[in-house]
Structure 1
């Protein structure tokens, strides 16, 4: 009996221990589940509150966007602004005020009460917000500032939205939110009285409390970050759950002693276990489906991106290809042997590929190589890394042939002229730089720049397509010519070609070489079905003799080439004096531009033209003069030539026309109505807009019925006869008279100019100065007078300086005269007083 009792006691004790252990275990399991549920509850409440805070602030920040959207014409009245701002504030709980700052100056604020101090405040003068303003302008996005002390009192968060008008800053739309009232008005949902909330503004490593002034401590708070425009905020939650949880575990332990709880908890635990098992099965199935979808997505991604993958087991000599990799290698099999690749890969890359494929790198390695597929050379880029878990080499492969071709095309575009295929100036400079420092050419270097004579005029006359065809023909000839001399050639600018020879060609040898270049590269060329003879202006430089960089080396040849224009020479060799002359010319061009902009140094004078028989004043010739403040008087021949070469001729022409028109009105006011002769330069005569511009100026600037005679040089007529005839007919139709100036100095005759619609011919003074002493000049004058009248032209003699000359030209039947005998060119004030009576 004692033994049996002892056993029962032992069994009872064992049963108690087992039961207590079982239910204690269950109690602690419930405790930890409660902890998880509590944490999930806090996260749910925190997510809800964070979302409410974010939505409330973003809703309040809609005000500036609404103001900007309503500004259709970027203007606003006080009444319009207040109406819109009132509606915005009525639907935005917590917004303190809406403001508008055109050009950064606050012009409107609603409500105005308590915000009067901000009106007319210039944001750009507030140094504390300059960084924020600049970031707002640069990003064109709203920027938040604060919360901070406001100038009108209290604390607030300031939101500034930039307003741009056609990419130009117009101003700012501003909203101010009250703090901490704004956040205090947001009530957390699902929260109990034990929950505590705080919102911090994160600034670097500091956390600034915005709600209840509670310190940030990650061990006490459950937090969630939110982004509010350019600011990062952190929302936190905590409660007194720990104390409650301790009480709950004590109660559970007490209830675990109750037998009635055993069956309930056993049923509950069993149900939970079954539910967990079911959830686990669903999770396994879901993960299986996700893995299948990920494999399909990877296959699709590889197909779309064109990147294949592969893996290689050690010592197998075969790698397994993905579907996309099979497409790239045009392979029917997913197994690819290394030997098969080596047989088709470019021999230059074979060793590098074998090192790549046999390596076991700790970090990713890459390789590019070329391989022939179906007879076509393709570029491949491979990236590989050793997987220590599976002991395999895993890699990707990509066909980069298009990228390589694009790189080649970009290189070609950057270094070669797309029209001719020759090297451009950029590549030429690099090439010269590579030659000169090496000093490997003991015989020296010769640099030639050759420009097509009259290139700009040819382009104006014949058009762009004609010029392109001409340059291509010359480029092809230049390539063939350069091959005989093993020379480098380039096309450095429109109409200008460069040639670099690896020897110094001088003296007679240079002249012979230039002559060959002229005849074999230029010379007779047929373009657009018409053959013309073309000529080069050639500048010569010797890079090995000058301590200059490549760019300046080319410039020396260009300077010498440009000198050919003024000297009418076939070629010119560079010297320092040429550069000095060019600098002086550039300075004079700059001074002329300044004179045209101010209009103070230029003036107009007028030389009278008389009727030879009656001596009556019938016309005058307008002549421009330039009195330089330092150089003094500058010859028109000098500065007009500069104006033509530098494209200032149109500005000078407009100034002359405006000044002559003004003086014509003064003549009319003084009852002087005569024909006004105005000179046209060769450059102006080739201007396609000449007729339209002159017609408009005649109609708008000159007195009504003013007779205007345009004097045209002989060279302008014969540079393109058909163009000249067409243009002159248009000028005649527009009401202008036309004169041929300085006749006799060129190669034309009256017979050759009869095709032009001229009204007058002006005989150059060279035929007048000796006409009394030289009978041949007198005969020449008589012949020109008879032919001119036969062609229904009037004729004018220039440079009459004596009464004998006047009498002679009168006897020869010449209609008009001008010269120093009558008068020197006069300013308008003296011209008005001019008396033609002897």
Structure 2
């Protein structure tokens, strides 16, 4: 029995260069991913800065409220003494001391209270430690004259400071003009009542000196004048670090108060790397499927090109085979050894003189046609 041999075209892995479409798709996806990452980074930092500024503003508001409340409460205590002197202008040292002793205590930051009839200090509480201030004439003292005359001319309390005190240390001096009423209803200047608020106690009781305070604070506006830009508490470098600003409202004037986080602003959010890793994971989830799809697309195109090339080759072989068969006048038959199915072409039917209508799919048909 003649033997026949067959060759079978199998699928093979075809390596192709990435197509322009795949490269473009990956490039666009990569650009979008990078842009989204940059946007997320900027947004994360913006949210972090806003949150940090909100926290600083909250802490600053607490300190500002304490500072404002302490200053105003101290000065309000002295207003009662001023009202009493206006009705009893002949007050002496003993009376002045008894009344003032109730004002100065652990509940306030008042350091001393002085009375200056005719603008000369003659009344003082406590006297101990403040003896140097007795006899001070505000009109002749260059350091205190302007503030004293400003209080007299305006008829309102004037807060000065912080100033270096004769007794040592620093303090804020509130000067209250005291007027008495004449019989004809006109007002006459009695003098001044000066109250010294201890600066260190004020800062400490307002929380400015608390080591656990999470912000750094600077205060400016000496003598409660907003036009004065000099810093009298804290580091002036705070003003150049984009601080959170607020104002301390005083009975006459204002202080400007600025705050930044302790150690300065942090440009790097605590969750920066977490966000970056999430963006990286998201980018991979976007790029990887596009890359794989591009590879599959390129492989499919490569397979299609290879199949077309082999189809052309097969068609050429078929044409040559047909030409050879037609020329040689031979026939072709094919037997499936597993199923026993026999296939003949028309030339084989002609050679064996088998009509077209007869079934030639069985082996017996061929064996019967052989010579005995």
Aligned residue among 129, 132, 141 for 1:126: 141
Match of 1:182 in 2: 202
Q: Deviations over 1:350-378 (max 9, x none)?
A: xxxxxxxxxxxxxxxxxxxxxxxxxxxxx
Deviation at 1:140, TM superposition (A): 1.1
Cα separation, 2, equivalents of 1:132 and 1:206: 15
Match of 2:75 in 1: 61
Cα 1:205–1:125 shift into 2, 3 Å:
closer
The answer to whether 1:257 aligns with 2:280 is yes
Cα separation, 2, equivalents of 1:52 and 1:145: 19
Cα 1:215–1:23 shift into 2, 3 Å:
closer
Aligned with 1:257: secondary structure?
helix
Cα separation, 1, equivalents of 2:151 and 2:284: 66
Cα separation, 2, equivalents of 1:30 and 1:162: 56
Cα 1:41–1:3 shift into 2, 3 Å:
farther
Cα separation, 2, equivalents of 1:193 and 1:70: 40
Counterpart contact for 2:164–2:170, Cα < 8 Å = yes
Match of 1:164 in 2: 179
Cα 1:189–1:159 shift into 2, 3 Å:
closer
Match of 1:37 in 2: 51
Cα 1:6–1:61 shift into 2, 3 Å:
same
Q: Give structure 1 stretches of 5+ with no counterpart.
A: 263-838
Counterpart contact for 1:64–1:160, Cα < 8 Å = no
Counterpart contact for 2:163–2:172, Cα < 8 Å = yes
Aligned with 2:65: secondary structure?
helix
Q: Deviations over 1:461-495 (max 9, x none)?
A: xxxxxxxxxxxxxxxxxxxxxxxxxxxxxxxxxxx
Counterpart contact for 1:200–1:216, Cα < 8 Å = no
Deviation at 1:6, TM superposition (A): 5.1
Cα separation, 2, equivalents of 1:191 and 1:110: 33
Cα 1:21–1:195 shift into 2, 3 Å:
same
Aligned with 2:166: secondary structure?
coil
Cα 1:260–1:91 shift into 2, 3 Å:
farther
Q: Deviations over 1:443-467 (max 9, x none)?
A: xxxxxxxxxxxxxxxxxxxxxxxxx
Greater CA radius of gyration, 1 or 2?
Answer: 2
Deviation at 1:196, TM superposition (A): 0.9
Aligned with 1:123: secondary structure?
coil
Aligned residue among 219, 223, 238 for 2:260: 238
Cα separation, 2, equivalents of 1:131 and 1:14: 72
Deviation at 1:110, TM superposition (A): 1.7
| Aligned pairs (5 A) from 1:439-518 | none
Match of 1:209 in 2: 231
Deviation at 1:63, TM superposition (A): 2.9
| Aligned pairs (5 A) from 1:242-321 | 242-243=265-266, 245=268, 248-259=271-282
RMSD: 3.7
Q: Give structure 2 stretches of 5+ with no counterpart.
A: 1-12, 182-186, 286-372
Structure (1 or 2) with the greater strand fraction = 1
Aligned with 1:183: secondary structure?
helix
Cα 1:50–1:261 shift into 2, 3 Å:
farther
- Structure with more contact order per residue of length (Cα contacts < 8 Å, sep ≥ 6): 2
Aligned with 2:221: secondary structure?
strand
| Aligned pairs (5 A) from 1:541-620 | none
Counterpart contact for 1:63–1:85, Cα < 8 Å = no
Aligned with 1:96: secondary structure?
strand
Aligned residue among 6, 15, 22 for 2:36: 22
Match of 2:244 in 1: 222
Aligned with 1:169: secondary structure?
strand
Cα separation, 2, equivalents of 1:131 and 1:253: 61
Counterpart contact for 2:226–2:255, Cα < 8 Å = no
Deviation at 1:65, TM superposition (A): 0.3
Deviation at 1:91, TM superposition (A): 5.8
Counterpart contact for 1:78–1:108, Cα < 8 Å = yes
Match of 1:88 in 2: 103
Say how many residue pairs are matched.
262
Aligned residue among 160, 171, 195 for 2:215: 195
Aligned residue among 144, 168, 185 for 1:153: 168
Cα separation, 2, equivalents of 1:110 and 1:184: 23
